[in-house]
Structure 1
Amino acid sequence: MNKLLFKHVDNSPLIVFRILFGLLIALEAWGAIATGWVKRTLVDPQFTFNFIGFDFLQPLPGSGMYFYFALMGLFGVFVMLGFKYRFSIIAYTLLWTCVYLMQKTSYNNHYYLLILLLIFMCIVPAHRYFSADTRKNPDLKSISMPNWVVLFLIGQIWIVYTYASLAKLYPDWLNGTFPELLMKGKAHYWLVGDLLQEPWVHMSIVYFGVLFDLLVVPLLLWKRTRVPMFWISVFFHLFNSIVFQIGIFPYMSLAFTVFFFPKEYIHRKFLKFKPFYKSSETKIPNLAPVLKTFFVIWFTIQLLLPIRHHFINSNVFWTEEGHRMSWRMMLRSKSGYASFQVKNLNTGKTEYVKLDEYLTPKQKRNLLKPDGIYQFTQKLRKEYAEKNIPIEIYTRIKVSLNGRKSEFLIDPKLDLTTIEWNYFFHNDWILPEPKSLNF
């Protein structure tokens, strides 16, 4: 085990990845400003759907979030250059994690993946060559890295892709229902819009999505299929980038591939000026037991977290319980409507809540999810409690999953001031999934 983990190998893939990674996270931060994402998600809303339990994480007032993301982008450039690397990558990790936890309106599994990659980059020696840090302090310079760096990243990516594939093995994906719905929203695309409406395209997406996610890592690891799989990956990720416009993540996924190619090849193609590490010396660090413990804990969590919904007595597609951080990417479409009524117990009068005064159009989608309903209820409770007005809160919320008939998500007669949120188990105030959800 020590030889497998702590044998030293050439670090060219890690150095190249650091440069690409730093560039991409800088573009992610600055692009969020340029595209209006920061404005729509963190500046305009007066109320934020944060992760439950992290209410203390709120967007900075005024223009604060613009400066926040500008600073993140600067740290990304520092990572790329290897300038004060350890401080810069830890700072970006903390800032990005806070953004992730302070809002769910624009939740994306890729944002969670970026947190995991940032943690990975915090603990690896990615600044030990071709960096501002080694230029200032030549004693830092090294042309090798422990083998666990490669194993860690490949293992993490394998978990992500495998669970993404397995999550697609449900009826609405396999029969093309959801891919068809997904492509309907792209009908207006220039040149390819009509093509994306073809049934054969939908079924191609069905099988290609399942097989690509399941096989990409094994086929990149196998020498005979590595190059063809790389070019298939280029097609897959560029397709996702063009059709779904998901930011840096298709390009981040392509950057991973430097760890799959022979180190000699990466060295020859990108860092020819660097000496190549030819030895295979095993260097066991003093912190080896700590590292091994960390690896066991990390991968245990990564293997168990995506399957936690199987231990919750509910249908994850209906209740969303166990959905996040589970690599359940682009699997379902929800539509519906929500209305809230507040009954003043002093006067006996009931009034409808004007949702537009609280939420942006995109934020209203959170009201089709139980945790969003709970959080908005707490917001209303707090507002009336500050006025010393006792209230009851009722809601009419109907949800349609993947084009099915709309059904009530919450009993309209349930007083929402009585509900509590269970983090780890089923919340029984959610109505059972309709019979039409036969999976």
Structure 2
Amino acid sequence: MKNRLFLQIDNAPLIIFRIFLGFLLACETFGAILTGWVNDNLVTPKFTFSHIGMEWLQPLPGNGMYFYFATMGILGLLVMIGYKYRWSLGLFTLLWGGVYFMQKTSYNNHYYLLLLICLIMLFLPADRYGSIDAKQNPQIKKLTMPAWCSWVMILQITIVYFFATLAKFYPGWLEGTFVKNLLERSVTNPALYEIMTQKWFYMFITYAGIGFDLLVVPLLLFKRTRTIAFIASVIFHIFNSITLQIGIFPFFALCFVVFFYPPEKIRSLFLKKKPIAQNVSTITYEGKNTLIYFFIPYFILQLILPLRHYFIKGDVLWTEEGHRLSWRMMLRSRSGDTDFKIINKKTGEPLFYNFSDDLTHKQKSGMETKPDMIWQMAQRIKHHFAEKNIEAAVYANTNVSVNNRPYHALIDPKTDLAAVNWDYFSHCAWVLLPVDK
């Protein structure tokens, strides 16, 4: 196994993946400007719900975020052409990480995956061919790479699909409830709506989703089933792209296929002018320290993070505790409302704060059903009155439903949210646990 990891193979898959990645990074960031995503999530809001502990990370004022995203788009193009590769990708990763931690109203798993892949690519020799860097500095030019460069990408996407499969084994998915609700919300064409909301169709999609996530990687690993798995991947991701409109993710996921095919096949398809490497199949220990000291700890963490919710009291589907960073993709819809009761601790008199004036419609919808965002809103209310030298107690009255199930109180209405902390590693006792979710 050790020898196989350090076997020299043609680096065509990594080179073409860098080109695809850079192009998609540019599409994602320029597209965020053109579609209004930047305006809706980072310019219009008075503040953003950052990840807890990073409340200081807020959007740039004025038109600053447009320049921020335009810079990332340019950096994506530089990654694609391989100019100052590590500097370009490193700066993009830093800026993208800023956006990721800056807001979670529009949290999406593929934003997290993009961040991880950019981080991985920083440690891979993806600029040694087909890049401006290699043309300007021929000393770095190389036609091969150690096989572990492909295997770390395969392992990362395997983790994504495995935990996505595991998360689907709950009644709301297995009964087809969530998929039915999703299609009813997403499909706008009347003819397609008539077909897609029929039970046979949404149940087929339900179990096809499980089957695809579970089997796609194993089928791609074997030569006899590889092309079938690739065709299935194209159909699956194009369907998701059209139906769910989830940006670049379907195309990004398809890019990983290049690491499953023989490197020579990728070279013959995409890099026809690339010379055939003469030193393939030789064993070197190139990147041994990187593999041991970065990638082994990295993948241990990647295996731990999606499991953490199993060690937190309550059902993550309801509490949301441990939901993020766990590849729990497209699993639930939440609806409900939240109101705050604010009391002057010194006088006992009620205080008024219209939180709706501070939030966009999307922020309000997200905040009203998610415990961490409700807590953050309570902290904001607390600080608002503290600036007026008023010590306020903040209570939340909530009514929440998951996947159109019965409504329940989510937050203990007797808990002063201004006086409690958010616990990252265990259950917050003030998040209620109803029997019927």
Matched with 2:59 is 59
Q: Which amino acid aligns with 2:403?
A: N
- 1:194 Cα shift? 2.2
Superposed CA deviations along residues 60-109 of structure 1, whole A, max 9, x for unmatched, are 01000000000000000000001111100001100001100011101011
CA–CA distance in structure 2, aligned partners of residues 2 and 307 of structure 1: 28
Relative to the length of structure 2, the TM-score reads 0.97
Q: Which amino acid aligns with 1:112?
A: Y
- 1:305 Cα shift? 0.8
Matched with 1:228 is 228
- 1:139 Cα shift? 1.3
Does residue 296 (structure 1) correspond to residue 296 (structure 2)? The answer is yes
CA–CA distance in structure 1, aligned partners of residues 174 and 342 of structure 2: 43
- 1:353 Cα shift? 2.9
The unaligned stretches of length 5 or more in structure 2 are none
Superposed CA deviations along residues 24-43 of structure 1, whole A, max 9, x for unmatched, are 00000000000000011011
Kindly report which structure 2 residues correspond to 1:326-405, keeping only aligned pairs within 5 A, or say none: 326-364=326-364, 365-405=366-406
Kindly report which structure 2 residues correspond to 1:64-75, keeping only aligned pairs within 5 A, or say none: 64-75=64-75
Q: Which amino acid aligns with 2:371?
A: P
- 1:8 Cα shift? 1.0
Identity %: 51
Does residue 424 (structure 1) correspond to residue 420 (structure 2)? The answer is no
Give the secondary-structure state (helix, strand or coil) at the position aligned to 2:342: strand
The unaligned stretches of length 5 or more in structure 1 are none
CA–CA distance in structure 2, aligned partners of residues 170 and 3 of structure 1: 41
Matched with 2:31 is 31
Matched with 1:132 is 132
1:221 and 1:260 in contact (8 A); partners too:
yes
Does residue 3 (structure 1) correspond to residue 3 (structure 2)? The answer is yes
- 1:120 Cα shift? 1.3
1:7 and 1:281 in contact (8 A); partners too:
yes
Aligned residues: 435
- 1:290 Cα shift? 4.6
Matched with 1:145 is 145
Superposed CA deviations along residues 343-390 of structure 1, whole A, max 9, x for unmatched, are 224554324432221111111112311111111111111111111012
- 1:264 Cα shift? 1.5
Kindly report which structure 2 residues correspond to 1:27-426, keeping only aligned pairs within 5 A, or say none: 27-189=27-189, 191-278=191-278, 279-285=280-286, 288-364=288-364, 365-426=366-427
Give the secondary-structure state (helix, strand or coil) at the position aligned to 1:406: coil
1:313 and 1:425 in contact (8 A); partners too:
yes
Give the secondary-structure state (helix, strand or coil) at the position aligned to 2:341: strand
Superposed CA deviations along residues 116-140 of structure 1, whole A, max 9, x for unmatched, are 1101111111111111111111111
- 1:193 Cα shift? 2.4
Q: Which amino acid aligns with 2:395?
A: Y
Superposed CA deviations along residues 275-334 of structure 1, whole A, max 9, x for unmatched, are 12242112224x623531322211111111101000011110111001001000011111
Q: Which amino acid aligns with 1:356?
A: S
1:341 and 1:353 in contact (8 A); partners too:
no
Q: Which amino acid aligns with 1:169?
A: F
1:397 and 1:408 in contact (8 A); partners too:
yes
CA–CA distance in structure 2, aligned partners of residues 400 and 156 of structure 1: 33
CA–CA distance in structure 2, aligned partners of residues 92 and 381 of structure 1: 35
359-368 vs 247-256, greater mean Cα deviation: 359-368
CA–CA distance in structure 2, aligned partners of residues 353 and 177 of structure 1: 37
Q: Which amino acid aligns with 2:417?
A: L
